[in-house]
Every structure is written in structure tokens, then in C-alpha cells.
Amino acid sequence: MSVIEFLSFSFVQRALTAGILIAVITAILGTFLVLKRLSLIGDSLSHVALSGVALGLITNTSPIFVAVPVVMAGSLLVFKITEHTKVYTDSALGIVSACGISFGLIITSLAGGFNVDLMSFLFGSILTVSAWELWLAFTLSAAAFVMIYIFYNDLIAVVFDENFAKTAGVNAKRINTILVLISAVAIVAALKVVGIMLVSAMLIIPPCAALQLATNFKKALLLACSFSVISVIFGIYISFVLNIPSGAAIIILNILILAFCACIKKFLK
Amino acid sequence: MDTIEVKNLSFSYGAALALENISFAVKQGDFTGVLGPNGGGKTTLIKIVLGLLKAQKGEVKLFGKDINKFDDWVKIGYLEQKNTPSSLMPLTAFEVARLGLLSSKKLPKTFNKTDNETAENIMQTTGCLPYKNKLFYELSGGQQQKVLLARTLINKPSLLILDEPSTALDSASRENFFNLISSLNKQNNITMLLITHDIADIGKYVNNFLILDKNIIFYGSKQKFCGDKKAEEYFGPYTPHLMDHLHADAKSCPFGRHQ
Ligand SMILES: Nc1ncnc2c1ncn2[C@@H]1O[C@H](COP(=O)(O)OP(=O)(O)OP(=O)(O)O)[C@@H](O)[C@H]1O
Ligand SMILES: [Mg+2]
């Protein structure tokens, strides 16, 4: 099938629009998270999303709508754990992750086990994005963009050097909280694209590829976004043509780009 | 109003007492050299003064305002001792230096052309302009220090707190550095708190000494320092060396020469 033909389907147009939006937002957030050594928050919060989605399905409400507050709560729980106990952040992420999966599994089994709907959230199904899901992705991404725009330089300062940020009048605690809350929103928005199992890869891999080549911060963000968008567009195309899962196709492309960037870096040095 | 006012301050890390009942005040324009052994609590004291650590006991005021309510950060320049910024953060030297302007901004904090010029000027002053477009994490320790110094000075702060700023610098840069900060102190009446082990280096620039070893061993002017029994005990071995650098003051200084 030609590309023109492919693009003429309205479900493909919806998938691409939602996919590109989410590719950009996860790449930008991922760059901050990777540099803050919080990249595994994607793993952890996506598992919390399982609880949220299952709760949405069992109560016959919207899985996405329920998942947003549940995942936000999960992200704050990570901070509460590290603040009030002698637990490192990575362990706290593991704990929250385990909570998410356990509750998710219990709720799922109460609902009579895995069904098609849950599967579509586990593994993503971007080609089935509905009009209102596209609208939701747009709203969530817009909110995330606005927050990043307002706090852009504060985020850079806190990620780079937290003590400096504090003595420059930046409320580091608030910025960290904002960062994980937006990440929670982005993760839920990305569920439809790559699924719970792979959403953290969208946050980690494009930024890692970009960091191989970036010579300043803007370039890092631009490269991460480009890699992420390219993977989503071609991933969707390939998955449609070869009839393979779109989420997996997108992530494999991301991994190939990362490998390519790592090679270029070796070659340049 | 004193620039820094510390009263009855005690601090411990867990069960380990690091500072005990510290009180002192620093006036605008003072250039204070903070000395003391490794682990004496110098860095800890500075972090409490800046609100980065919360003391269990006592109070701290900056420019007359309690540190917990202080928000006039544009007046403060701070250079940390052990600086471990995110190691892969792809910021150029220029981007790092310019970040210092954050404290003068309101949300959304964006940088304009004037800010870029300000950043280049201060980088010129601290001698790091030649590598402004290089990645910060690819610079040498001393080069990084010059960039961080530019970031610290960019707002023309009225209180400058520097924690062992010269350790990574070569001797020419060190000379430049001390000349720079001493001229800032003299011309702009900037208050300076400088932690160092290089008593020889700062002897000729400072006008006050604070010696800290969990308690305050000595706090006062350079002249008083020269006659102080405790200071003498404390810095006995350094004294002849120190005297070389106290120049004219040395003539009126009773200890060190007769040892
Ligand atoms: N994060 C920490 N946790 C526990 N103890 C600490 C911590 N930081 C410092 N200490 C202890 O507090 C005491 C004072 O340390 P501090 O870093 O203030 O000393 P310093 O005077 O700056 O020393 P140096 O000259 O080596 O820089 C030391 O005994 C140190 O072991
Ligand atoms: Mg120290």
C-alpha cells in the first residue's frame, strides 16, 4: 500500500496526530527525568496506571479518566516514601511499582480476568484511537506543554544543580513535584500509544539517543523529539503494513535510533 | 542591620554534633576568611546560613530577615565546595553561567538578548569566555570552577559566600581570582565569606577571621587575630607563613615573630 493511501484513512490520521503529540511530550519530559536519574519513574507509574485502568474498567467508567488521578497519587507517593523513610528514590519507585501491579491484578481478577479492553491498554492500540481519545491526548499534552514552558528554566536549574537552584530562589520541592505530576499525566496519555508494558521506553530511549549527540540543551530536546516522532510515524506505518503490534514496532525503531546514535558518537570521538 | 546574623545555633547530623552554640554577626562590606580543620563544620555552617540545611536550634537572619522567610536571593551569590551537577546534563558553559540570572526573574523565567550579553561579560571577567560553547561536563575542574564563579557573580550580589573556591585553580588564575573578589569587596562594598585552607592566600585580602571547629575558636578582626591566644594556639604552625602575607599588619602583630 502506498503512503498516500495509508494516510487517507481517518483512523490513521487520528493515530498519527495523537502519536506525534505524545511522542513530543514524552521526549521532552523524558529528557528531564533521565538527567534527574528518575527515568524509571515511567516504569513505576505505568504499573500504577494498571490499577487505574482496571479500576476504570471494573467500575464501567473511563479507564483513562480514572488512571489520571490514580497515577498522580502514585507519583506523589514516591516522594512521600523517600521523604519520610530511609528509602532511596529507586527503591521507592520499585515499591510503588509493585503496589500498582498488585492492586491492578487483584482488581482485574475480581472483574473476571483479562479482557480485550485491558489488553489494549497493556500493549497499546494506537490504530483504534477514537475521536474523543484524540481530544483527551490533546488536552493532556497541552496542559503538560504549558507547565513545561512556564517552568522551563526552573526545571533545568533543579535538574542540573539543586542546591544552586534553591539559592537562586527556585522552590526545588515544588518543581520536582510538578515534574512528576506532569509525567504522570503524560504517562496516562501515552498508554494508548505503546501500552503499559512499554510506556517507560518512550520516556527513556529518545532522550538517551539525543544525549549521545547533543551539544547544548535545546539540541538535546529537539533531537529527542525528532527521534521520538520519527519512531512513532514509521512504527505506525510498519505495524499497519506488516500487521505487527504498533507499540512494539515504535519501541524497536527507537532502540535502532539509539544504537545508531551511539555508533555515531563512537565514530566522532 | 547586619548582613548575616547567627544566634545560638546548634546542628547535628543524626546523633553527631557538627556545630555547637554558634553566634556571630557579619556587617555589610566585611571580608571574612573562614578557617578550620577538615570536618570543622565550615560547609555545614554555610549551608545553614543559606537555608539549605535546617538547624535544630538557633536562628539565622540574612539582611535582617529570618532565613525561613528570606526571598531576596538576587542579593546572594553562593559557590558550593563539592559541586556535583548532573553529569550528563548537556548545558554549555554559557548556559550554566547564564542560569545565575534566574534569581532576578519572575515566571515564566526566560532569558533575552541583554541577559546573553550580561552572561558573556561576566564570563570575560572570570576568564571562561574562550570556551563558552563547550559542554560544561567536558571542561576541566578549574575551567568548571570559573564558569560556576561567573554564575555566582552574574547578579552582582551584595553577599558572596564562597566555599573553597580556589582549590581547583592554577596559580595565575588563583591570583586573578583573589584580585577580582577583593576589588569587588573594596569597590562595591560586597560582603564576603570565604572558606579556605589557604590562609596564606587570603591573609592580605581579608579583614576578619572566623575559625571554626564545632565551636567558634576565634571571630574578629585581623588585628585582633594577631594577638589572640586561642588563635595563636590554633594556628601556631602556620603563623610565620601567615605573617609574610599580613604585610604591614605584621609589624604590629605580637605573635609569630618571637616563636
Ligand atoms: N551529609 C552528612 N551526613 C552526616 N555527617 C556529615 C554530613 N556532612 C558533613 N558531616 C559531618 O559534619 C562535620 C562537619 O562537616 P563539614 O563538611 O561542615 O566540615 P568542613 O569544615 O566543611 O570540612 P572541609 O574542610 O573538609 O570541607 C564532619 O564531622 C562531617 O563528618
Ligand atoms: Mg567544607
Average pLDDT of the residues of chain A: 91
Contact between chains at B109 and A211 (C-beta distance less than 8 A): no
Contact between chains at B107 and A168 (C-beta distance less than 8 A): no
pLDDT: which is higher, B220 or A152: A152
Average pLDDT over residues A101-125: 85
Position B188 scores a pLDDT of: 86
Q: For the ranges A222-231, B133-142, B181-190, which has the lowest average pLDDT? A: B181-190
For chain A, the domain total comes to 1
pLDDT: which is higher, A120 or B5: B5
Contact between chains at A150 and B76 (C-beta distance less than 8 A): no
Position B185 scores a pLDDT of: 86
Choices 3.40.1190.20, 3.40.50.720, 3.40.50.300, 3.30.365.10: CATH for B2-225: 3.40.50.300
- Is A269 inside a domain boundary? no
Q: What span, in angstroms and rounded, lies between the C-alpha atoms of B50 and B47? A: 5
Interval A20-41: pLDDT, tens: 999 999 999 999 999 999 989 9
Question: Which protein residues are within 6 Å of ligand 1, measured from CB?
Answer: B 13, 16, 18, 36, 38-44, 81
| A159 vs B: CB within 8 A | yes
ipTM over cut 0.85? yes
- Is A103 inside a domain boundary? yes
- The domain spans of chain B are 2-225
Percent of chain A with pLDDT over 90: 64
Position A177 scores a pLDDT of: 93
Q: Quick check: B229 and B254 in contact, CB under 8 A?
A: no
> What DSSP letter does each residue of B20-35 carry, written as one string?
EEEEEEE-TT-EEEEE
Count of Cβ atoms closer than 10 Å to residue A122 Cβ: 19
Element (H, E) at A42: helix A41-58
Query: Hey, which of B94-98, B176-180, B194-198, B200-204 has the most confident mean pLDDT?
Result: B94-98
pLDDT at B186 over 90: no
Average pLDDT over residues B219-237: 75
Task: Give me the domain span that covers residue A60.
Answer: 3-263
Average pLDDT over residues A80-91: 87
Position B246 scores a pLDDT of: 56
Q: Which of A36, A156, A214 sits opposite B99 (nearest CB)?
A: A156
> Which ranges of B83-126 does DSSP label H, i.e. alpha helix?
93-99, 113-126
pLDDT at B48 over 90: yes
Position B236 scores a pLDDT of: 64
- Is A49 inside a domain boundary? yes
pLDDT at B259 over 50: no
CA angle in degrees (0–180, nearest 5) for B143-B73-B164: 35
Alpha carbon separation from B206 to A36, A74, B140, B195 (Å, rounded): 39, 52, 29, 11
Q: For the ranges A120-134, B11-25, B102-116, B127-141, which has the lowest average pLDDT? A: A120-134
Residue of A nearest to B52 (CA): A163
Question: Dihedral, CA atoms, A105, A108, A114, A116, nearest 10 degrees?
Answer: -130
Average pLDDT of the residues of chain B: 86
Q: Quick check: B54 and B48 in contact, CB under 8 A?
A: yes
Position B244 scores a pLDDT of: 56
Average pLDDT over residues A226-255: 93
pLDDT at B254 over 50: no
Question: Which residue has its alpha carbon closest to ligand 1 atom 19?
Answer: B39
**Sequence-ordered strand ranges (E) for B99-207:** 159-163, 191-195
- Would you give the DSSP letter of residue B102? G
Burial class (CB in 10 A: 0-12, 13-18, 19+), B232: middle
Q: Which of B38, B80, B166, B212 to mutate to test the pocket of ligand 1 (most atoms within 8 A of CB)?
A: B38
Give chain A's count of helices (H) and strands (E): 12, 0
Residue of B nearest to A211 (CA): B90
We report the CATH number of the domain holding residue A218 as 1.10.3470.10
Average pLDDT over residues B212-241: 76
pLDDT at A1 over 80: no
Which is it for strands B159-163 and B76-79: parallel, antiparallel or unpaired?
A: parallel
With CA atoms as reference, report the closest residue to A199 among A153, A237, A157, A254: A254
The strands making up B57-62's β-sheet, listed across from edge to edge, are B16-26, B4-13, B57-62, B65-66
| Residues constituting chain A | 269
Tally of CA atoms within 13 A in the half-sphere of A86 that contains its CB: 1
Interval B64-107: pLDDT, tens: 999 999 999 999 999 998 766 667 899 999 999 999 999 999 88
Write out the three cell numbers for A26: 514524552
Interval A153-191: pLDDT, tens: 999 999 999 999 999 999 999 999 999 999 999 999 888
Report how far ligand 1's centroid is from the alpha carbon of A60 (Å): 57
In three-state secondary structure terms, B163 is: strand
Q: For the ranges A117-131, A149-163, B24-38, which has the lowest average pLDDT? A: A117-131
Q: Quick check: A216 and B90 in contact, CB under 8 A?
A: yes
Residue of A nearest to B88 (CA): A35
pLDDT: which is higher, B124 or B244: B124
